[in-house]
């Protein structure tokens, strides 16, 4: 068995986090190293999808839920305007291979990726 991802460990309560959203299937937290004034992470509780393409193929409704929740959180935290980023692959900056959306807002710069 693969080691649980950091996000699975957060879901299990083994690592602390600042939660901003939770339902049966999705957790939203504040990024520990924010790249923008608002930097939230949204991910499925299941760690079975490594990236957004796998999630789109395996459970498109769950991906659609994550996009809708991103809008809801952006409405609450940064006036509904935001950047939604799914890094895919190590060369693109992905470090956690448990699909997650970065919700960035509140005054973005070129470095907010
Ligand atoms: P990525 O580089 O796209 O895989 O994004 C992983 C993100 O997870 C980075 O922005 C990290 O700062 C963030 N991160 C890693 N560990 C934690 C943690 N324990 N709590 C909150 N965010 C984390």
Q: Tens of pLDDT along 78-109?
A: 999 999 999 999 999 999 999 999 999 998 87
Name the one residue in this structure whose structure tokens are 């930097």: 39
Residues of the chain below pLDDT 70:
1, 110-113
91 C-alpha to ligand 1 centroid (Å)? 16
**Is 100 one of the annotated active-site residues of the chain?**
yes
pLDDT of residue 18: 98
In a domain, 1, yes or no: no
pTM: 0.96
Complete edge-to-edge strand list for the sheet that includes strand 101-105: 19-22, 26-30, 38-44, 101-105, 83-85
Tell me how many domains the chain contains: 1
pLDDT of residue 108: 80
CA distance 68 to 71: 5
In a domain, 70, yes or no: yes
pLDDT of residue 107: 87
In a domain, 104, yes or no: yes
CATH number at residue 46: 3.30.428.10
Residue pair 85/31 in contact by the 8 Å Cβ criterion? no
Domain that holds residue 107: 6-112
What token pair was written down for 11? 């879901």
Ligand 1 contacts CB of residue 113 (under 6 A):
no
């Amino acid at each position: 068995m693969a080691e649980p991802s950091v996000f699975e460990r957060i879901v299990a309560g083994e690592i602390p986090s600042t939660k901003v959203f939770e339902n049966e299937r999705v957790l939203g937290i504040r990024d520990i190293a924010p790249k923008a004034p608002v930097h939230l992470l949204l991910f499925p509780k299941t760690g079975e999808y490594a990236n957004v393409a796998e999630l789109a193929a395996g459970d498109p409704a769950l991906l659609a839920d994550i996009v809708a929740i991103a809008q809801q959180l952006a409405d609450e935290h940064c006036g509904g305007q935001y950047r939604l980023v799914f890094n895919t692959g190590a060369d693109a900056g992905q470090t956690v291979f448990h699909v997650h959306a970065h919700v960035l807002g509140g005054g973005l710069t070129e470095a907010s990726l």
